[in-house]
Amino acid sequence: GFAHEDDLIRDVIGLVERTFPVRAERRGRAIGGLSMGGYGAVKIALKHHEMFASANSHSGALGFPRLDPETARERSPDFVRIFGESPRGGPEDPFAIVERIDHGRVPALRIDCGTDDFLIDQNREFHKHLESRHIPHEYREFPGGHDWAYWDLHVREAVAFHLKNLDLSRK
C-alpha cells in the first residue's frame, strides 16, 4: 500500500547497503516486524522473494486484507486507500501471494503469536494456509498478548532464526 513498500525496497535497503558493511544480496537480507509490521514483513518478503533470505512476523495482522471492507474501515480509516475496494485475493493479500509464488523461492519464514493475542486466529489461518501449500515455515504460539511484554520475550528468537538463515560470511 501507498509507497511504503517501494520506499523500503529502494530507499531504506539502499541506504543500509551504502552505509554499513553488509552483504548486499538476497542471502544477506532479512525482514521482520510486529503487528501491521509483521504483516508488511511477510508480504514484502513473499512479493520480493528474490531480495530476502528470511522473514519473521510477531503477532502479524496477516489476515487484515481478508476482512470484510466495512469491518476493516472501522479499524483503519485508510483501509481502502491502502488495500483497495476488494483486497481479498489482491496484490496486498499474503494468502493470495502464497498461491502465486514459486515455492522454490519462498524465503525462510517464521511466524509467532501470543495465545491471548486478538490476532491469533489470523496467524493460525495463515499457518494452515502455508501448510496446505506445503510451504516450509516455522510457526510458534506462546502465552501472551498483543503487547511489548510478549514481543520483548520473543524478538531474540526471531534474531536467532534470521542468523540461522543468513550468509554473513565476508563477500
- The pTM of this model reads 0.86
Helix (H) / strand (E) element for 132: namely: helix 120-132
Domain boundaries, the chain: 4-165
* Tens digit of each residue's pLDDT, the chain (171 residues): 456 777 778 888 889 999 998 899 999 999 999 998 999 999 999 999 999 999 999 999 898 656 666 666 676 666 666 666 556 667 788 999 999 888 788 999 999 999 999 999 999 999 999 999 999 999 999 999 999 999 999 999 999 999 999 998 765
| Alpha-carbon gap, residue 129 to 139, rounded angstroms | 12
Say which residue the cell 502465552 belongs to.
143
With beta carbons less than 8 A apart as the criterion, state whether 38 and 58 touch.
Answer: yes
Fold of 4-165: Rossmann fold (3.40.50)
